[in-house]
């Protein structure tokens, strides 16, 4: 029997997604000997089959849809067509550029990259299995960053036509019709892109609204935009089962107590994600999981074993790439003895819908739940010069401030470039700035960023471009 090769490292990181690879680079910068293990591709779900490829597809769909509606600007274009093979090539090119860049960064920081599936055999050792065989790595510290995967429902098993988000992103051609079970962030983003390309889409949502948990003022604008593009949004729907009929999909639903069958070329099942903690051998080292399969951590990302850390989608909190990256830096610094701790004073989140939604900190409801007396100032895109020139007048900037001192504790933006604009509000919250601080900050004109300043002026009671 062939003897298994054995190696030793300082910090072993399992998973090379936005949490793992960032942790690896930061750990290496701090002088640690780092090995990162990845069973699939560098960049994880986010860069390969999630955040990045979906945004590339969304961007391509925007260009197609906007080109067909340039007449408002006096530009006439005829015979606009989609070459979906080239769309996919563009998307794949974006992914390849970024994932190869990660490889370069890891090697440039002298991080050892190992391909394979890691499993803990004891508290300081893992076995890594790959097509090339097995290796055993001993480590001083470990960071688990294995991410998550789509939830598969027993009544809607994935197939050639019943797809998860990865399957939809990798379709070789545009379907004529699509059903989406689940109107959450991933579903809404992909549905918007497909609708832009002219696909007839139906959303089946079990709750009373899409994007559940978000401010109704935000989600209603997105719903209106989707319906304008021809998307059917059915809410309070009980989806019972789906059948792959080879050339189409049939979904059995109950709407208002009545059983119906909805048909389409393909079905997207987007009902959440589950943590990848099941194949790590955590039971071998005594790390317990919650009912949802999550690993509990302390403020330095340590598990119940102080030398083993966990970050990203496998720990409590929102499943966001930038949260994972942030936690990865904290874990890497904690291992080096730095007093780094996670501080979720504010964690921005974005929906790349049309228009975009970006939120950070408290909204009016969450402030009330925390017993904070807050005030809300909402300033519309419709009176902003840049928004009007862009013909992007839907939406608003909403500022949430403490009633007693005007300190910014939250912000919600819906409108063009909301994803870029939210960072100013995140910085304001992190720095405990007041609405007056934002109002006194000179913003260049004409820009969408001025809407933040205008919302702040409204919060202080001195709006210039809005009659009180």
CA dihedral 167, 168, 171, 173 (to 10 degrees): 160
Predicted local distance difference test score (pLDDT) of residue 468: 78
DSSP lists the bridge partners of residue 34 as: 11
Query: Are 167 and 210 in a shared domain?
Result: yes
92 is in an annotated binding site: no
Give the tokens for residue 430.
């992190």
187 is in an annotated binding site: yes
Predicted local distance difference test score (pLDDT) of residue 2: 65
HSE-CB for 25 with a 13 A CA cutoff: 18
Query: Are 142 and 282 in a shared domain?
Result: yes
Q: Which of 305, 335, 365 is the last residue of a domain?
A: 335
424 is in an annotated binding site: no
Query: Are 143 and 9 in a shared domain?
Result: yes
Assign residue 407 the CATH number of its domain: 3.30.390.30
Note if 445 is an active site residue.
yes
Q: Does residue 307 lie within any of the structural domains?
A: yes
Q: Are 251 and 261 in contact (CB under 8 A)?
A: yes
Number of domains in the chain: 3
Query: Are 204 and 288 in a shared domain?
Result: no
Query: Are 193 and 227 in a shared domain?
Result: yes
Query: Are 251 and 299 in a shared domain?
Result: no
146 is in an annotated binding site: yes
132 is in an annotated binding site: no
Q: Does residue 95 lie within any of the structural domains?
A: yes
Predicted local distance difference test score (pLDDT) of residue 164: 97
Query: Are 253 and 120 in a shared domain?
Result: no
Q: Does residue 423 lie within any of the structural domains?
A: yes
Q: Does residue 420 lie within any of the structural domains?
A: yes
Query: Are 368 and 448 in a shared domain?
Result: yes
55 is in an annotated binding site: yes
Q: Does residue 98 lie within any of the structural domains?
A: yes
185 is in an annotated binding site: yes
Spatial separation of the C-alpha atoms in residues 314 and 274, rounded to whole Å: 8
pLDDT tens track, the chain, 468 positions: 567 889 999 999 999 999 999 999 999 999 999 999 999 999 999 999 999 999 999 999 999 999 999 999 999 998 999 999 999 999 999 999 999 999 999 999 999 999 999 999 999 999 999 998 999 999 999 999 999 999 999 999 999 999 999 999 999 999 999 999 999 999 999 999 999 999 999 999 999 999 999 999 999 999 999 999 999 999 999 999 999 998 999 999 999 999 999 999 999 999 999 999 999 999 999 998 999 999 999 999 999 999 999 999 999 999 999 999 999 999 999 999 999 999 988 999 999 999 999 999 999 999 999 999 999 999 999 999 999 999 999 999 999 999 999 999 999 999 999 999 999 999 999 999 999 999 999 999 999 999 999 999 999 999 999 997
Assign residue 54 the CATH number of its domain: 3.50.50.60
Q: Does residue 157 lie within any of the structural domains?
A: no
Q: Which of 271, 298, 316 is the last residue of a domain?
A: 271
Neighbours of 305 (CB within 10 A): 16
Query: Are 130 and 73 in a shared domain?
Result: yes
Query: Are 38 and 124 in a shared domain?
Result: yes
Q: Does residue 340 lie within any of the structural domains?
A: no
Query: Are 200 and 234 in a shared domain?
Result: yes
Q: Are 456 and 438 in contact (CB under 8 A)?
A: yes
285 is in an annotated binding site: no
450 is in an annotated binding site: no
147 is in an annotated binding site: yes
Which residues are CB-neighbours of 96 under 8 A, at least 6 positions away?
none
HSE-CB for 130 with a 13 A CA cutoff: 13
Which of the following is catalytic: 63, 69, 338, 445? 445
Q: Does residue 342 lie within any of the structural domains?
A: no
Q: Which helix (H) or strand (E) holds 35?
A: strand 34-38
Q: What is the DSSP string of 405-437?
A: T-BEEEEEEESTTHHHHHHHHHHHHHTT-BHHH
Q: Which of 248, 271, 294 is the last residue of a domain?
A: 271
Question: Which domain, by its residues, includes 208?
Answer: 162-271
Query: Are 265 and 282 in a shared domain?
Result: no
């Amino acid at each position: 029997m062939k003897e298994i090769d054995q190696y030793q490292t300082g910090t072993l990181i399992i998973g090379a997604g936005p949490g793992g690879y960032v942790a690896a680079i930061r750990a290496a910068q701090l002088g640690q000997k780092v090995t990162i293990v990845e069973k699939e591709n560098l960049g994880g779900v986010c860069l390969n089959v999630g955040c990045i490829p979906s945004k590339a597809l969304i961007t391509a769909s925007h260009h197609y849809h906007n080109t067909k509606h340039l007449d408002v600007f006096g530009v006439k274009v005829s015979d606009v067509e989609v070459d979906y093979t080239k769309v996919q090539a563009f998307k794949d090119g974006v992914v390849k550029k970024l994932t190869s860049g990660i490889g370069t960064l890891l090697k440039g920081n002298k991080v050892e990259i190992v391909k394979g599936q890691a499993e803990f055999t004891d508290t300081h050792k893992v076995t890594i299995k790959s097509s090339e065989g097995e290796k055993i790595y001993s480590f001083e510290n470990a960071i688990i960053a294995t991410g998550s995967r789509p939830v598969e429902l027993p009544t809607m098993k994935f197939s050639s036509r019943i797809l998860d988000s990865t399957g939809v992103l990798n379709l070789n051609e545009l379907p004529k019709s699509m059903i989406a079970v689940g109107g959450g962030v991933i579903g809404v983003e992909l549905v918007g892109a497909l609708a832009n390309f002219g696909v007839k889409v139906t959303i089946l949502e079990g709750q009373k609204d899409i994007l559940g948990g978000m401010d109704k003022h935000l989600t209603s604008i997105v719903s209106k935009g989707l319906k304008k593009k021809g998307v059917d949004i059915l809410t309070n729907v009980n989806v019972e089962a789906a059948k792959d009929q080879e050339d189409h999909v049939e979904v059995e639903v109950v709407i208002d107590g009545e059983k119906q069958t909805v048909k389409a070329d393909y079905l997207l099942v987007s009902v959440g994600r589950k943590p990848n903690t099941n194949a790590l051998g955590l039971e071998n080292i005594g790390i317990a999981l919650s009912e949802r399969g999550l690993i509990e951590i302390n403020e330095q990302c340590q598990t119940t074993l102080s030398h083993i850390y966990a970050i990203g989608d496998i720990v409590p909190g929102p499943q966001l790439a930038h949260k994972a990256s942030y936690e990865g830096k904290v874990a890497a610094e904690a291992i080096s003895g730095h007093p780094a701790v996670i501080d979720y004073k504010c964690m921005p989140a974005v929906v790349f819908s049309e228009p975009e939604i970006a939120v950070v900190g408290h909204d009016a409801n969450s402030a009330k739940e925390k017993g904070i007396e807050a005030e809300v100032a909402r300033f519309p895109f419709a009176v902003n010069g840049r928004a009007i020139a862009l013909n992007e007048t839907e939406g608003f900037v909403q500022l949430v401030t403490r009633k007693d001192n005007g300190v910014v504790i939250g912000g919600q933006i819906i409108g063009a470039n909301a994803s870029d604009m939210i960072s100013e509000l995140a910085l304001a919250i992190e720095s405990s700035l007041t609405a007056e601080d934002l109002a006194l900050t000179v913003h260049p004109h004409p820009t969408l960023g001025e809407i933040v300043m205008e919302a702040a002026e409204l919060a202080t009671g001195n709006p210039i471009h809005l009659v009180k």
